[in-house]
């Protein structure tokens, strides 16, 4: 009986060590998912910068972040995972095979993720402070969201950041909840899941914010015109939060495609649709 108890205790210890190695081995590691804001470094929060300063290891998928926060990352063990495939299939529950309960071979991205999880757990067991950084807010179309499923029970903290959504509104000097017709905002993308088709969302005629992810712009506008009036205001904000680079193109659903025809669409652009764009505040000229 005693021998069984010892074996059982050892198994519990090993399982706990695998799930949350820091407390078991006496490490004081910390794991943080940190939003660094859009645009210039001064849009990062005090807490975000503090977590980076305290970090031993920094993971990123963005070469742009490495450039923008070069001074803050100096002296850190920085691991750039751009192009690694580590974030692929983080929405695996959308897969028809997954829903049907069918087994499939792990993808290259999933294998990379497994190695990353083991690496992070090992570093936490050594007492390291680890930060995963992302532009904007990490929980708005963030590529690291799947980490919360892996480490949520281990106390992974989330440090919110200013989103490009917020920076875009600041550039427009408009509040999407101030509109003659609606006080509701929809944040979406045209990489729609089955229940989130853009045409269906447009039927509500709410203030709409589109994280485009290099979506085909004319096709996206065509979908919106099936539900919104052609005169509905549209604004495209480029490089929201970048002082000296930020710019805005304004039009309507009818005119915006020709206005954008000669412009290259960088990744750093966001689209706003709705009457709130033309709504005049009291006393405004």
pLDDT in tens, 123-156: 999 999 999 999 999 999 898 999 998 887 667 9
DSSP codes of every residue in 123-165? HHHTT-EEEEEESB-TTSS-TTTHHHHHHGGGT-EEE----HH
In-domain check, residue 284: no
Contacts (Cβ under 8 Å, ≥6 apart) of 188: 196, 198, 201, 208, 209, 210, 211
- Domain holding 189, by residue range, is 165-278
Q: What is the dihedral of CA 194, 199, 201, 205, to 10 degrees?
A: 180
The per-residue pLDDT string of the chain (285 residues; one tens digit each, 9 = 90 and over) reads 545 444 555 444 444 444 454 444 345 789 999 999 999 999 999 999 999 999 999 999 988 899 999 999 999 999 999 887 787 544 443 444 333 334 444 455 566 888 999 999 999 999 999 999 999 999 998 989 999 988 876 679 999 999 999 999 999 999 999 888 888 999 998 765 555 688 888 888 999 999 986 668 898 999 999 999 999 999 999 999 999 999 999 999 999 999 998 888 888 899 999 999 998 776 565
Q: Any idea what the Cα angle at residue 39 is, between residues 113 and 185, rounded to 5°?
A: 80
Judge if 102 and 190 occupy the same domain.
no
Judge if 64 and 115 occupy the same domain.
yes
- CATH number of the domain to which 114 belongs: 3.40.1010.10
Q: Name the burial class of residue 143, with classes exposed (0-12), middle (13-18) and buried (19+) by CB atoms within 10 angstroms of its CB.
A: middle
pTM of the model: 0.79
**Domain total in the chain:** 2
Judge if 217 and 81 occupy the same domain.
no
167-198 as b/e: b if 16+ CB within 10 A: bbbbbbebebeebeebeebbebbbeeeeeeeb
Judge if 147 and 187 occupy the same domain.
no
Q: Name the burial class of residue 39, with classes exposed (0-12), middle (13-18) and buried (19+) by CB atoms within 10 angstroms of its CB.
A: buried
Provide the pLDDT for residue 279.
Answer: 87
Q: Which of 100, 132, 162 is the last residue of a domain?
A: 162
Judge if 146 and 204 occupy the same domain.
no
Distance CA 252, CA 171 (A): 18
Q: Which of 144, 162, 180 is the last residue of a domain?
A: 162
Helices (H), the chain: 2-19, 21-25, 46-54, 63-68, 70-73, 96-99, 108-125, 146-151, 164-172, 198-202, 217-225, 256-260
Judge if 176 and 87 occupy the same domain.
no
Judge if 254 and 195 occupy the same domain.
yes
Q: Which of 128, 145, 162 is the last residue of a domain?
A: 162
Judge if 158 and 211 occupy the same domain.
no
Judge if 32 and 91 occupy the same domain.
yes
Strands 233-238 and 57-60, bridge-based pairing = unpaired
Closest CA to 192 of 157, 139, 230, 141: 141
In-domain check, residue 285: no
In-domain check, residue 283: no
Judge if 121 and 169 occupy the same domain.
no
- CATH number of the domain to which 171 belongs: 3.30.950.10
């Amino acid at each position: 009986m005693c021998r069984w108890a010892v074996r059982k205790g050892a198994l519990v210890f090993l399982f706990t060590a695998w799930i949350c190695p820091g407390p078991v081995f006496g490490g004081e590691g910390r794991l943080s998912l940190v939003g660094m804001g859009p645009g210039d470094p001064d849009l990062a929060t005090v807490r975000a910068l503090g977590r980076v300063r305290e970090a031993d290891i920094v993971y990123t998928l963005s070469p742009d972040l490495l450039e923008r926060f070069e001074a803050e990352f100096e002296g850190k063990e920085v691991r750039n995972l751009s192009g690694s495939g580590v974030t692929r299939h983080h929405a695996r529950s959308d897969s028809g095979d997954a829903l049907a309960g069918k087994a499939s071979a792990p993808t290259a991205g999933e294998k990379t993720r497994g190695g990353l999880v083991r690496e992070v757990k090992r570093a936490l067991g050594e007492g390291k402070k680890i930060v995963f950084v992302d532009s904007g807010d990490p929980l708005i179309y963030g590529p690291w969201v799947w980490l919360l499923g892996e480490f949520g029970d281990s106390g992974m903290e989330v440090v919110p950041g200013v989103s490009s959504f917020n920076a875009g509104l600041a550039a427009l000097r408009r509040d999407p909840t101030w509109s003659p017709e609606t006080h509701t905002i929809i944040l979406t993308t045209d990489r729609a899941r089955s229940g989130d088709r853009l045409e269906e969302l447009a039927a509500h005629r709410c203030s709409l914010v589109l994280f485009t992810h290099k979506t085909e712009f004319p096709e996206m506008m065509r979908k919106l015109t099936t539900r919104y009036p052609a005169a509905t205001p549209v604004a495209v904000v480029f490089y929201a939060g970048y002082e000296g680079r930020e710019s805005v193109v304004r039009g309507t659903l009818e005119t915006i495609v020709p206005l954008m025809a000669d412009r290259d669409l960088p990744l750093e652009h966001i689209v706003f649709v709705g009457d709130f764009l033309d709504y005049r505040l009291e006393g405004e000229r």
